[in-house]
Structures are given as structure tokens and as C-alpha cells.
Structure 1
């Protein structure tokens, strides 16, 4: 477990600009009062963002997530998280850069389904 905490700390220190932009919008309970964590270890993986109360994981995917190997790795991660009761949403870097309000709205709707 300590190994994954070190990995998470390292990832937080060198987050992508898309992750930084989304984190700015999520941190400090800025989205409808939900507490989010960034680069948080869960069951042998480190997720980009998670709200434990909402059981929601948000993954911000760059171009490398479009290769067949990465897509299979992402699918395996999603299977593990789903088995733990988490809902997973994936957004692209471009989604964050070009439509942050839409990303935040989608996250909010996912956390509070009508």
C-alpha cells in the first residue's frame, strides 16, 4: 500500500494541465459540496479523481489511452472498480480544455441522478 501512496504523491506532483484544470474546479468541495481526492490509490491502482462518498471515479484520458493495449488496461481497471461498487466516468483532455462546464455538469448529474 505504501508503494501506491508514493506513486500517487508523484503523480500529484506532476499532474497534467487537464488534470490541474479539473482539480481546480473540484477541490475544496466546489462541485455541489462533494469531496474529491486526486491521484488516490484504490485496490492496487491510482485513480485520477474520486469521491468516496459518491462512489465515483473520474479518469482523465490523454491520447495514449486510445491504443488497444491501453484500452484493455483501462477496461480491466474499470472491471475492478465496478466490482468494488464504484461508477467510472472517463473524459478526455480535450473535454476538459474545451468544455469544462459540460464535464462538471456530467459529473454532477452522475452523482445526483434524477
Structure 2
């Protein structure tokens, strides 16, 4: 079975590069645990264009997106935007998991356990 290609907007490449060069503290902390295939041998990328969005982390092989939410996501209008964004990303066949920045700061071991569990489920679901 051939899996669908994950589309992206090439106009977002420069913005994604700027975001990679100006990562938040939570992104830096999580990236230390995801880079170099440390997460059960799967390759993650950070700040990657997907459709008309830039996702925090993605494993294309698993169709898995990890998003980190800070204080701006607590705003009323931002919640609506997040729902639309998530719906659009799911339309590409992506599975999305979200963590609050504070979870990464204070409970990184729990965050990593959740990611490992989702990676395992996605791996099984996709027959990898």
C-alpha cells in the first residue's frame, strides 16, 4: 500500500528555517530527545512546513506530528485557530499529539513515555 505524500507550501521554507534558529526552550528540550533517531529509531524533523502550516516536530514515516503549546494557545481565538489547523493537518492523514510547554519543562520523562507509546501505536497501525 502506497502512503500519501505529505504536502507543503515551499513559500514557508524560509520561515521554518527562522523558527528552527529561534526555538523556544520547550522545543530545545524536546529536540534533545528526538534528534538523531533517538525515539525508537525514527527520524523526526523540527519546524517543518506541512500544507500551509509549520509544525513543531514531525516524523513523516509515522505520519506523526508533535505540537508544543505555550501561553498564546490559551487565548480564546487561538483555540479556534488550533482546531482548524488540527483538522487540516489530520486531512493529510497525520496523527497529532500536543503538550504544554510546562509539561516539557516539568515532566519530560512523562512526555517521552507518551511519545513512545504513540510511536509504537503508529508503527503498528502502519505495519512498520
Q: TM-score range by the shorter chain?
A: over 0.9
* Count of equivalent residues: 114
What are the ranges of 5 or more consecutive residues in structure 1 without an aligned counterpart? none
Which residue number in structure 1 is paired with residue 85 of structure 2? 77
Secondary structure, counterpart of 2:80 in structure 1: helix
Query: How is 1:29-40 mapped onto 2 (pairs within 5 angstroms)?
Result: 29-40=37-48
Structure 2 residue 101 is matched with structure 1 residue 93? yes
Which residue number in structure 1 is paired with residue 13 of structure 2? 5
Counterparts of 2:93 and 2:31 in 1: how far apart (Å)? 23
User: CA RMSD of the aligned region, Å?
Assistant: 1.1
Secondary structure, counterpart of 1:53 in structure 2: helix
Secondary structure, counterpart of 1:49 in structure 2: strand
List structure 1 runs of 4+ shifted beyond 2 angstroms: none
Question: Shift of residue 2 of structure 1?
Answer: 3.3
Structure with greater Cα Rg:
2
What's the TM-score once normalised by structure 2's chain length? 0.86
What's the TM-score once normalised by structure 1's chain length? 0.96
